[in-house]
Amino acid sequence: MTSHFLDKLFEKAAVQPSTFAIAAGLRHIRFHFPDEALRQYCSPPFSHLAANGQTADLDIFCFLHPLDVTAWLAENQLDNRPHKTIRHNSILYCSQENGLFWLDENRRKGFFLGNGMDALEPYHSKPFSRLLCWFFENLGLLWCHGACIGSGNGGVLLPGIGGAGKSTTVGAALLGGLQLLGDDYLLIEPESRTVFGLYSSLMLAEESREMLRQFPNATLLRPEFLGNKDKWCHYLHPAFAPQLGDQLPLRAILIPQIVQQPDSFISPASQGEVMNALVSSLQTVWLMGIAPGRLLREYHTLTASLPLGKLHVGSDLTQVPALVNAYLNGGQI
């Protein structure tokens, strides 16, 4: 590994003036930016987890005018390659966004290097997800692509690929008073079966415009920054602050499915059906640079020990919160 490149990187990191910190997954993480405008661009999805403190378990630094890494990437065979580990450093170069993600495990520092704001746009609803994924996976937590809603009685995991109905279900749950840990990425501690939230952003498709109109004006819509233009990003904090939690005990896994009828209902699901829903989203996790083997084993253990079902979401979305609440209160499918 080129020591000169690392030295320059740490030299630049030492003078970043704008910071903010969060508490997530029982850890403290501090983000560093070269200016206040960039901090304000990246902080909204984390604002519900804002924390104080001088010490951090991980420091993440963001550069939008990085060093020239072309020669270094070629030297270390990282150009257009998947995730690679070199001497306790997890590294991923994304040629499409021209961005470099780098986690130094020993120094507990992460870096994002990109050529301008274009490199950040695909991640504005879930910034630095790759670095956070590597960090928490190294601590033994599972990085899960799914949503989690719940109440004081615990949380329900909603797995599935994009378009399965996760975000529609989450939106209905929020409007009905339920808690939310996340709409897209979550952390799961497998032994205690605890779910931790990270991002308070919600992605809703264009066909959910009727639901969009029910959200407070305080939430920020940013469709213009999305790579996928048919979705709208809501920042849920502070408008839904009382409902945005940081952790819940996992009580059940329900596969969301949109049905062409008014009423919503819950039906039983087999372990195989739930595993298929979880596995269908593994490609998203694999793109983070995580090998799927451990995830599959832990998913199998979770699905063997939790209640499983299908949440059929009808057109009358007002039924969803009461249905989930009754299920968490011990109601039978």
At 106 the pLDDT is 87
Vertex 279 angle, CA 273 and 282, to 5°: 160
Q: For the whole model, what pTM was predicted?
A: 0.89
pLDDT at 114: 81
Q: Cβ contacts of residue 205 below 8 Å, gap of 6+?
A: 163, 167, 168, 230, 231, 232
Long-range CB contact pairs, 294-298, < 8 A, 24+: 294/142, 295/142, 295/143, 298/142, 298/188, 298/190
pLDDT of residue 107: 87
pLDDT at 10: 65
Q: Which residues of the chain have pLDDT under 70?
A: 1-16, 65-88, 95-98, 118, 121-122, 162-163, 206-209, 212, 216-230, 331-333
Residue 267 contacts residue 211 (beta carbons within 8 Å): no
Predicted local distance difference test score (pLDDT) of residue 211: 73
Position 68 scores a pLDDT of: 62
**The pLDDT of residue 221:** 59
Q: What is the pLDDT of residue 1?
A: 46
Buried b (16+ CB within 10 A) or exposed e, 2-15: eeebbeebeebbee
Distance, CA of 315 to CA of 324 (rounded, Å)? 16
CA atoms within 13 A on the CB side of 32: 19
Distance separating alpha carbons of residues 18 and 124, to the nearest angstrom? 18
pLDDT at 78: 56
CA-nearest of 2, 1, 41, 36 to 19 is 36
> In whole angstroms, how far apart are CA 246 and each of 25, 193, 223, 286, 324?
8, 14, 26, 25, 19
CA distance 80 to 85: 15
Q: Is 171 helix (H, G, I), strand (E, B) or coil?
A: helix
